[in-house]
Structure 1
Amino acid sequence: MLKHKSLLWIWLVIISGYNCAAQRTGRETISLNDQWEFQKPDAQIEKIILPHTWNDKDVLDDVPGYYRGVGVYKRKLKLDDSVKERAVFLVFNGVAQESEVFINGKSAGKHIGSYTKFIVPISAFLNYKEDLVEVRVNNRFNEDIPPLTADFTFFGGIYRNVSLLITSPIHFSQKENGSSGIFITTPAVSALSASVRVNSVVENSSSFDKKIKIINSIYNANGGQVTSGSSTISLIRGEKKSIVQDIKSIKNPSLWSPKNPYLYRVVTKIVDVKTSEVIDQVSNPLGFRWFRFDANEGFFLNGESMKLMGASRHQDYDNLGNATPDALQIKDVELLKAMGGNFLRVAHYPQDPLILEACDRLGILASVEIPVVNTITESEAFTNNCLNMQTEMIAQNFNHPSVVIWAYMNEILLRLKFSNDKPRQQIYFDHVRELAQKLDSLTRKLDPSRYTLLINHGAWDIYNKVGLTKIPMIVGWNLYSGWYSGAPEDFAKFLDKHHKELPNTPFMVTEYGADADPRIRTNQPVRFDKSVEYALKFHQVYLNAMLSRPFVAGGMAWNLADFNSETREETMPHINNKGLLTIARQPKDTYFLYQGYLLQKPYLKIASSQWKERTALADSGKLLSMQNIQVATNLKSAELYLNGKSLGVKEALDHIIEWKVPFADGINQIRVVSGDQSDQADIHFQLQPFQFSDQIPFKDMNVLLGAKRYYIDNQTHEIWMPDQIYKKGSWGYVGGEPFKGTNNRISYGSDKNILGTENDPVYQTQQVGIKQFKFDVPDGEYDISLHFAELVGGETKEALAYNLDNNHKTEAVENRVFSVSINETPFMENINLAEDFGYTRAVQKKTRITVTSGKGITIDFNAIEGKPILNAIQLKKVY
C-alpha cells in the first residue's frame, strides 16, 4: 500500500509541475506534437504526430517529382480560465515553407521560410473553452523564396517540434525574430578574466505600469553561482524596452574549446520589485572563448592554432525525410565528435535548435547559413526574404558559443542565367553582388563578433570577376577535382592558387567528396564507379593537401551522411551518396579513414569490415582468391592475421595499411593488431572455380556485364561480380565493349534511374555488341536469368547543375532489335527493349535448362538491327 501511495505522490508532482513552475517563473512550455490531423487537398484525413512531412515516400519512388503544394494541420487546444490573464504563444521550430496559423478560423500569423523558428501570439484569438488550431502549409515553388534550386529535397510539412508557450503579460519579448529575447556577448575574454554583456528585451503587454528588476546570474558547470548583476526599471503598459547589463571581472574563466567544452549558464530573470515574485526566467548557454582567422596561418582558438576539420550536415534521415526525431539529430553531432571532427558546417540552412545545443555541449565549432543556393530572383521580395532569413538565423542562434561563422550564399553562380545575352547576364551578376553585399553588411551589423562567409564552387574566374571573393571575411570553396571535373591532384593546385592570388583572404574548403555507394566495392577503383574504394583514395588526397597547408583554415567533408535529393538518379536514385555515413547513419570505410586522420588517441580499425560478403574467382586453379583488406589507423604499423596465421607487419601510408589476403571459401576471420590495439572481422567468401573442372563446387554466380565492380544486394544478399572475357573451361562474354555514357562526366556505365528495380547498379552497365556468353559447366540442371535495360534514349532531362563536366553529346538512339538463343534453342525472339518494355526499364528473363553431353551453356545474341546488349546474367545450379 505504501508503494502505491508513493507512486501516486510522484505522479501528482509530475502533473502539477507546470503549475509550480508557473508560480515560480511565470513561464510554461508544453509540447504540442500530439493529436494532430493532417490532410492534403482531395485526400483523406490522417491522424499524425509531429514532426511530420508529406514527402517521406514520394521522393523515393520512380515517378519524377514530388508533391509540392498545400497541406493542412488541425488540432484542438483546451486552456482553462487560469490562462486568460497571461500571454499565450505557439512556437514552431520549422515549417516548410509558407505557413499561416489560424485560431478558431482567424489568421493569427504568417511565416515565410522552411528553416527558422517563428512564434505566433494567440491570446487575442482564444475562447478558453475548446480552441481550434489550424496551420496551412505550402512547399510550392515560389520564385521569391529561397532556396529556388538545390541538390537536396524541399520536404513539406510541420517537420520540427511545436510547443505552447505561456508567460506572464510582462515577459522577455517574443517579437525578436524567433529568439529568446536575450542576446549575450563576451566583449573581453582571456585566460585571466572575462566580461559578459547581456541585452534583454522585455515587454509589458499588461494594462498596468510595472517596476521590475532584471537579474542576470552566471552559473558554472557544477551549478554554482559565479556572479550576478541587476538593473531596476519602470516599464509602462504596452512598452517594449532593451536593457543592457555589463558583468565584468570574471576571474580565471574556464575556456570553451573542442577539448574542453566548458559551459556556463546565464539565467536571466524578471522580478516584480514590489512582491519579489519571479515573473519570467530564461536560461542561455555561455562559453568563454576568443578566435580569429588568419590568411597565412589559418584558425586560432583561445590563442592556439587549430585546423578546423569536420563535415557538413543535412537534416533528413532514412525513410523519415526531414521529420527526424530529436535523438537521431543529436546522434549526428555525436557521430561527428566520435569521428574526431571539431567543426560542423550547418548546411545549407539553419537546422533544429538541438544541433547547436549539441555542438555547444560536445565542443564542435560551427557555421550556419541561409538557403540562398545556386541562383537568385532579381526581385525586392526575394531580397527581403533573404535579409529576413539572415536576421532570424542570427537572432535565434546568437547565444551559442559553438557558432563562429555566419554564411549566406552557396555556389550562387552554379546556374548561370542569360548565357546567350551577355549584357543582361552582367545585370544579373550585379544583382547577385548587391545581394551578397547587403547580406554581408547586415550580418556584420547584427553580430560584429563573428565572421562572415560566402561559399563558391570551383569556378575561380567567374567568382573573382563578379566580385564575390572580395565581400566576405572568409571565402569558402566547394571543390570536387577528381569527381565532377579534373583529377584529385588538381585540388592542391587550387589551394595554392587562392593563397597566391588572394593572399589576404582567409579561406576554408567547405565541400569536397565523391559518391560512395556502400553496396559497390572494387579492387580496381576508378572515377565514377561509385565505389567506396575510390572515395577512400579521393579523401586521402584531399586530407593530405589540407592538413599540410597552414593557410587552409579547415575542411568540411561533403557530407556527414548520405541525404535525399529527389532529382538525382545514379546508382542509388534520389540519394546523394557522398556521406561518410549512410542515410541510416551506418559508417562507411571513409568514416573510419577520418578517425585514422583526426582522432588523438590510438586507433586501429578494419575499414574493409563493411565489405563482409564477397565473391571472386579462385586464382589459377587454387582454392584461394587474393583480395584487398584495408585497415585505417593513426599508428605507424600493424600486423594482420587470417584465421590465426600472420600475414606480416606493414606500415601505414596515408593512414591506411593494405594487405592482399588469400581468402578461402566460407568464413574467414581477419584480425589486426598493433600494440594493445586490435580489431577483427568475419568475412563470408563465396569462392568461384577458376575452371568448372576444379575441386571447388559450383553453386551460383551473378555477373555484371561491362563492369569492374562488385555489387551487394542488401535485401537478398546476392553478390554480383565483374565480368570477364570468355576462357575455355570457365565462363565469360564473347564480343562487344562496355557501355559508355553520353556525357564527359559519366565515363562508367549509366547514371540513369532504372525503373522497376531497387538494384539499379545491376542494370547500369552492359556489354554492347555482345555475341555470346558461355559457361563451360558440367552436365546438370541450371537456372539462367538474363537482365536487360535500354540505357540509350527516353525522356530528355535537364542536365543537373552539379555535373560540372556534364557536356552531353546527342544520344545516338538506334532501333535495337535482337534475338537470344540458348544452346541453339530460341529463347527470346526479335526483342526491342525500348518498344517492348520502355527505356531504362529493368527486364529479367529466366529459364531452366538441362546440360548434357558436356556441351556446357552457350547463349547467342543475334543482331537483327543495331547491337545486342546484355546487362547482367545469373547462373544457378539446381542439381
Structure 2
Amino acid sequence: MNSYMRRGNYCVAVLCALLAGLPATAQQQVRLNEAWEFLKGDLGGVWEAVRPVGKGNPESVPLWDSVTLPHCFNATDAVDPDVNYYQGPGWYRTQLNIQNPYKNGRTLLHFEGSGQKTEVYVYTTLVATHIGGYDEWQADITEAVAAFEANPVYRKLFKGKVPVSIRADNSRDLQLIPSNLSDFNVYGGIYRYLNLVYAPAVSVSHTRVNTQVAADGKTATVAAQAFLYNPQKQSAVAVTMVLKNPHGAVVQQSAVTLLPGDSTQAVTFTVKKPQLWSTDEPVLYTLETSVTADGQTATLTEKTGIRSFGFAKKGPFFLNGKRLLLRGTHRHEDHAGVAAAMTESMMREEMILMKEMGVNFIRLGHYQQSRIILNLCDSLGILVWEEIPWCRGGLGGDVYKAQARRMLTNMITQHFNHPSVIIWGLGNENDWPGDFPEFDKEQIRAFMKELNTLSHQLDTSRRTAIRRCDFCKDIVDVYAPSIWAGWYRGNYTEYKQVSEEEFNKVDHFLHAEWGGDSHAGRHSENPDKALQLIKTGGGADERAGDASLFGGAARISKDGDWSESYICNLMDWHLKEQEAMPWLTGTAQWVFKDFSTPVRPDNPVPYMNQKGLVERDFTKKEAYYVFQSYWSITPMAHIYGHSWPTRWGNAGELKMIKVYANCEKAELFVNGKSYGQRQRNSADFPAAGLRWNVPLQEGENWVQVVAYSGKTKVEDSLRFQYQTGTWAKPDNMHLHKIAEREGVATLEVTLKDASGKICLDAANWVRFSLAGEGKLIDNQGTSSGSGLVQVYNGRAVIKVQTNGGKSTLAVTSKGLPTAFIQF
C-alpha cells in the first residue's frame, strides 16, 4: 500500500489493516459469535448439554452462562493472584438454523483455533475431534445434521434448529505440546473465530502459491496449486484460476477439467515487470480459484505477494536484493480481560501500533497464530518467523512427536501463501528439561533433524530456525542464541561484543529475544545504580534460575528496580549499537505487549511477564517511544516521563530531561525558558544526544520540546511535580479519587511517611478490595488493573465500575494501617 509509513498516512494504514483482517472468501461463511452458552467444568455426557429442559426449571443443572465467541475460559483467572489458572474441560452449546443453499452441499464448522482438545457434537452424535490449540480445522456436520433433521420429533422439539455442543479441554497433558513449563498459559476455550460454512458438493479446500523472482528482477513465476474438498467424489470438475495484479487487473488465467479421482490442479503464471512485496511497499496480488461441478460454483479468493529474500552466509539479511536490517519484536495471543480471545479489532489495533513504531519483522511466539495476524503482516509489511509450540520440557514419546509433526505440517500448509513468512520455527528453548525423567540431547537432536527435514520437504522456499538450544544450532538454517545483556547476565554495554561472538559461531545468526521487564509507572532518578553489583565478562545468556526473583548471582532481573527508566536506557543502548553493526541480520525484542504466564507469580503484577513495550491493554510504556525514535520514519518527539507525576532531588540540582525523537534537531523549554537546541546523533547515548541537564523548581514544572524534521515541526509537553528533601519509611496510606468517566471511577493510593511526604521510592505490595454496589476492575494483568500489585513510586491506581451506586474501597499493605474511601 504505497509506503504509508514514509508519508505518515494513518488512514491508509487503517485501510490496509481492515482489508487484511477479512478472511479468505470461502463459499458462504458467517461467524458464529452470538447466542452461545458456556459451562466451566465437565458434564456426565453430551446429553446434559442438549436435554430439553427449559431455563428456570429446577432440573436445569448445571447452570450455564451466556457468552459470545471468541471466548477463553481463562479470561481473568490467568492473572488472579490467589488461584492457579483453570486447566480442564469446558462446554459450549448453541442451536443453529441450518439453511444450506447448495444442492447436495456440505455444511462445515470452521475453527480458526480452539484449545487444546476439542470435540464437536450435533445433538448427541460426536462428529469431529481435534488435538492442538493453534491450527485451523473444520468439522463436516453435513450427515449428522441430515440425520437429526430426518427425525420429526427432534425437529419439533428444537423448533427446526440443530443443537450443537462443543467440548474444549486444556487439561495438563505431558504428551502434548506446548509444555506447561512454557513461559505462557496453555489457554482453553473457543478463543478464535468459529465460522459456519456452506459449500457446494465440490469446493476449494486450500491453495498453494509459490513465487520466484528472476535474477534480473524483470519477470517472476507464480506457481499455484488448488486442492479440492470433494468428499462425494464428484466427477467432471472444472477449475479456473485467475491471477490479478495489485490494481485488480487480470495478469493470467487458466481453466481445466479434472477427471474423476483428481483432487488438485497446478498451473504456473509468468508475471512481467512484477511489483515486488516489501516492508515499505507491501503490494499484494490476488488469486481467485473457482470450481464448478453439477452447475454449482465455489470460489476461494486469497492474497499473495512476490518477493525474494536471503540470509547471507556470515552476513546480513536481504529482501529483493537489498540489505534490510530486521527491526523486530514478538507477539503472544493475550490481552487484558479476554486472555487469548482477542477480537479482530484488537488484533488490528495491536499490529498497527507495531507498524507505527517502525517494526518490519515479528516472531510469533510460540505457536501458530490467527490467520488475521498473518493477513495483517502481509498488508502492513511485517516479515514473520512463525513456529510450533515445541517449547521447553524435553521430548515425549510417539504421541508427542506425532502431534509436533502434525502441527508443523498444518502451520506450513495453512500459512504457506503469506509473503510475509520467511522462517518456520521448529522449537524454542529445547535445552530446558523438566517434563520427563529422562532428558536425552541426542534424542532431541534426532527429532529436530526430522522436523527440519519435514519443513524443507513441505516448503523449499523458507528457512528453518530455533531459539536457544546450542546443541541443535547446526541443524537449522538460522540460529538465535540467548543474549540478554544487562538483564539476566552482564551489562547492556556488553551487547555488541557478545552478539559478534555468537554471530561467528554459526552461518546465519538472528538475535531473537532481548530486553527486560519494567513495571509500568515506576521511574528512577538513578536507574543504572544496580549495575554496580553486576559481574561482567561472563556472558549474557539466560541460565537456570535467572528468571527467579530470589537467590543466585547478582543480576538486574533480580536486583534492579524494574523501572521504565532503566529499561529505556537498556533498549536505547541496544538500538544505537544495532544501527552500527553492518553484518547484523536483525533482532526481535521480547516482547511487544505484556502477557500472562503461570511461572511468574511474584512479579510486580502477579503472573505477568512485564517485558512488553505496551501493557496488556495497549497502554504504551515509555520504551515504545525509544523504539519509535530509531525505527519510525514519521516525525515524532516524546519527552520521557509522561507517567512520572513526581520527580525528586535536591533544590538547585540539575536533572536530566530526555527526549526520544527521530528528528534532526530539537529545542527544550522548561517553565517557559529555552535551554537551546540539540542535534540528534544516534551514537550519542542516551537519547541520541537529545538530553538536557536543567534545574527544576519546587512544585509544578512545565516542559516542552519542539523538534524539526526538515520543514516538519512536532511538539510534546508534560507537567510534573518536583519534590525536594528526603522522606522516611512509609507510615500510612491515603486513598483518593482522581477521575470518574462514563461510570468508571479511578482511584489512587499514595504511601506517605509520618510527616506526610510521599515515599517516592516505595515498592510495597498493596491489595485492593471493594464493598458496595460497584465492581472492582481487577485481574486485567496491568499496573492499574490488578487487585494485588506493587506500588510504583509510592502510588498505585485501580478502577471501579460504579454501577450508579455507592461503594467503599479498602487498601491493605503489610505493616501499614488499612485505608478506606467511600464514593
Instruction: Work out the CA distance in 2 between the residues paired with 1:563 and 1:28.
Output: 36
Are the aligned partners of 1:218 and 1:228 in contact in 2 as well (CA < 8 Å)?
A: yes
1-structure distance, mates of 2:230, 2:75: 43
Does residue 414 of structure 1 match 2:446? no
| Equivalent residue, structure 2, for 1:845 | 817
- Does the 8 Å contact 2:637/2:716 carry over to 1? no
**1:339/1:402 Cα in 2 relative to 1: closer, same or farther (>3 Å)?**
same
Question: Do the aligned partners of residues 307 and 278 (structure 1) sit closer, same or farther apart at CA in structure 2, a change above 3 Å counting?
Answer: farther
Residue by residue, what CA displacement relative to the aligned partner does 1:175-200 show, whole Å, maximum 9, x if unpaired?
Answer: xxxxxx21111144453111111111
Provide the residue aligned with 2:38 in structure 1.
38
Partner of residue 598 from structure 1, selected from 607, 631, 643: 631
Whether 1:104 aligns to 2:130 is no
What whole-Å deviation, never above 9, does each CA across 1:553-578 have from its counterpart, x for those lacking one? 11001011111113312211111111
Match of 1:536 in 2: 568
Select which of 290, 297, 318 maps to 1:269: 290
Q: Which residue of 2 aligns with 1:510?
A: 512
Q: CA deviation at 1:80?
A: 3.8
689 and 196 in structure 1: CA distance in 2 versus 1, 3 angstrom threshold: closer
Q: Retained in 1: the 8 A contact 2:223–2:269?
A: yes
Instruction: Give the AA of the match of 2:452.
Output: D
For each residue in 1:590-618, what CA deviation from the matched residue of structure 2 results, as whole angstroms up to 9, or x when unmatched? 1111111112344322232332x11435x
Amino acid at match of 2:173: N
Equivalent of 2:580 in 524, 540, 548: 548
Q: Which residue, 492, 499, 515 being the options, matches 2:496?
A: 492
Q: Does 1:501 align with 2:520?
A: no
Alpha-carbon spacing, 1:82–1:671, altered in 2? closer, same or farther (3 Å): closer
Q: Within the alignment, does 1:54 sit opposite 2:73 as a pair? A: yes
Aligned CA-pair RMSD: 3.2
In the TM superposition, what whole-angstrom CA distance separates every residue of 1:352-408 from its partner, at most 9, and x where no partner exists? Answer: 111010111111111100111112333000000000010111111011011111001
Q: CA deviation at 1:169?
A: 0.6
Aligned pairs for 1:666-745 (under 5 A) are 667-675=700-708, 676-685=712-721, 687-688=722-723, 690=725, 715-718=746-749
Partner of 1:818 in structure 2? none
Is 1:616 aligned with 2:616? no
Structure 2 residue 445 is matched with structure 1 residue 433: yes
Task: Encode CA deviations 1:5-47: one digit per residue, 9 max, x unaligned.
Answer: xxxxxxxxxxxxxxxxxxxx99211111111111023763001
Q: 1:600 to 1:762 in 2, by over 3 A?
A: closer
Q: Which has the larger radius of gyration?
A: 1
Cα distance change of structure 1 residues 677 and 386 upon mapping to structure 2, 3 Å threshold: same
Q: Which residue of 2 aligns with 1:585?
A: 618
Partner of 1:178: none
Report what 1:192 is aligned to: 218
Change (3 A) 1:759 1:498: closer
Q: How far is the alpha carbon of 1:584 from its aligned partner?
A: 1.1
Amino acid at match of 2:204: F
Which letter does structure 1 place at the counterpart of 2:426? Answer: Y
Shift of 1:205: 3.2
Structure 2 segments unaligned to the other structure (5+ residues): 1-24, 43-61, 150-159, 529-555, 732-737, 740-744, 765-782, 796-810
Deviations 1:801-836 (A, max 9, x none): xxxxxxxxxxxxxxxxxxxxxxxxxxxxxxxxxxxx
Q: Please, which moves more after superposition, 543-552 or 259-268? A: 543-552
The 5 Å alignment of 1:449-468 reads: 449-456=461-468, 463-464=469-470, 466=471, 468=472
Spell out the pairing of 1:804-823 with structure 2 (5 A cutoff). Answer: none
Whether 1:368 aligns to 2:386 is yes
Equivalent of 2:671 in 636, 639, 643: 643
**Out of 188, 193, 215, which is 2:240 matched to?**
215
- Answering whether residue 479 of structure 2 is matched by residue 475 of structure 1, we say yes
1:487 Cα deviation after fit: 2.1
Verify the 8 A CA contact 1:703 1:720 in the aligned structure 2: no
> 1:197, 1:732 → 2: CA distance?
67
Residue number among 774, 788, 795 corresponding to 1:758 in the alignment? 788
TM-score normalised over the length of structure 1: 0.72
Counterpart CA distance in 2 for 1:482 and 1:651 is: 28
Report if the CA contact (8 A) 1:702-1:720 is conserved: no
Out of 228, 239, 255, the position equivalent to 2:276 is 255
Q: Which moved more, 1:645-654 or 1:398-407?
A: 645-654
Distance 2:188 2:434 in 1: 27
- Counterpart CA distance in 2 for 1:583 and 1:732 is 28
> Whole-Å Cα distance in 2 between the matches of residues 446 and 150 of structure 1?
27
Aligned to 1:323: 341
Question: Closer, same or farther in 2 for the Cα pair 1:246/1:658, shift >3 Å?
Answer: same
Q: What amino acid is aligned across from residue 138 of structure 1 in structure 2?
A: D
- Cα distance between partner residues in 1 of 2:164 and 2:362: 36
What is the deviation of 1:63? 1.8
Tell me, in whole angstroms, the C-alpha distance in 2 between the residues paired with 1:432 and 1:328: 37
User: Is it true that 1:119 corresponds to 2:135 in the alignment?
Assistant: no
Change (3 A) 1:732 1:633: closer
- Percent identity, aligned pairs only, is 26
The answer to whether the 8 Å contact 1:295/1:507 transfers is no
Query: Is the 8 Å Cα contact of residues 593 and 611 (structure 2) preserved in structure 1?
Result: yes
Distance in 2 (alpha carbons) for counterparts of 1:29 and 1:155: 26
SS of residue in 2 equivalent to 1:155? coil
Amino acid at match of 1:158: I
- With over 3 angstroms needed to count, the CA separation of the structure-2 counterparts of 1:58 and 1:365, relative to structure 1, is same
The structure whose RCO (Cα within 8 Å, separation 6+) is larger is 2
C-alpha separation in 1, matches of 2:121 and 2:455: 33
- The answer for the alignment partner of 1:229 in structure 2 is 254
How many corresponding residue pairs? 678
Once residues 751 and 815 of structure 2 are traced to their aligned partners in structure 1, the CA distance between those partners, rounded to angstroms, is: 17
- With over 3 angstroms needed to count, the CA separation of the structure-2 counterparts of 1:40 and 1:603, relative to structure 1, is closer
Counterpart for residue 163 of structure 1: 195
Counterpart of 1:322, as a letter, is A
Give 1:484 shift: 1.5
Contact 1:143 1:377 in 2 (8 A): no
CA distance in 1, matches of 2:81, 2:577: 40
Partner of 1:144 in structure 2?
175
Q: Distance in 2 between matches of 1:537 and 1:572?
A: 22
CA deviation vs aligned residue, 1:743-765 (integer Å, no higher than 9, x gap): xxxxxxxxxx9xx9634247999
Helix, strand or coil at the partner of 1:453: strand
**Residue 203 of structure 1: how far off its partner (Å):** 3.7
Matching residue's letter, 2:303: P
If the length of structure 2 is used for normalisation, what is the TM-score?
Answer: 0.77
What is the CA deviation profile of residues 472-506 of structure 1, one whole-angstrom value per residue up to 9, with x for unaligned ones?
0000224212212222233323222123333xx11
Any gaps of 5 or more consecutive residues in structure 1?
1-24, 174-180, 457-462, 692-700, 706-711, 740-752, 766-786, 790-841, 849-879
SS of 2:441's equivalent in the other structure is helix
Match of 2:526, as an amino acid? Q
Q: Distance in 2 between matches of 1:47 and 1:847?
A: 37
